[in-house]
Amino acid sequence: MSTVLWANRLRDGVVESDTRDKYALYRYSRKLDSVCKRSSGLSFAQLCDTTDLRVNLEDISLPDGMSSTDELMAREGVWQPAEEVVRMLAAALAEIREKKMRFGLLKNEYETVVAELEESLCYAEAAANEGAQFNFSVVM
């Protein structure tokens, strides 16, 4: 089992997840954080919520009345306005494409990173159109 990111949106207290695994975004999250800070002034790392990971790894019980980590993440998770996320992801994509950045030592995962960022950008745009919040949850 590997650790991945899932894109999420929060609207009216309800979390909706794009459950497509974003392994490359998780794997290169430090590099993406640097790219995002440089290109937009925003932090990729500050979008990553660890609620699900902490509940699963630390054997934390959900509060009474909650049946999923999504409910806990909705209430206590890390969220950003989707409009800001759209700006951040678009700026990062532009820089990555312009510089043809390499991701990986032995194998260049540039195409995978770009595809996962494009997918996430589309999801963030849909969230922005709904006036929702956005995050990436770290899922194992």
pLDDT tens digits for the chain (140 residues)? Answer: 689 999 999 999 999 999 999 999 999 999 999 999 999 999 999 999 999 999 989 878 899 999 999 999 999 999 999 999 999 999 999 999 999 999 999 999 999 999 999 999 999 999 999 999 999 999 98
Nearest-Å Rg of the Cα atoms of the chain is: 15
Length of the chain in residues, anyone?
140
State the Cα–Cα distance between residues 16 and 74, nearest whole angstrom: 10
Range of the domain at 14: 4-139
Structure tokens at 36: 């995002």
State the Cα–Cα distance between residues 27 and 11, nearest whole angstrom: 28
What is the total count of domains within the chain? 1
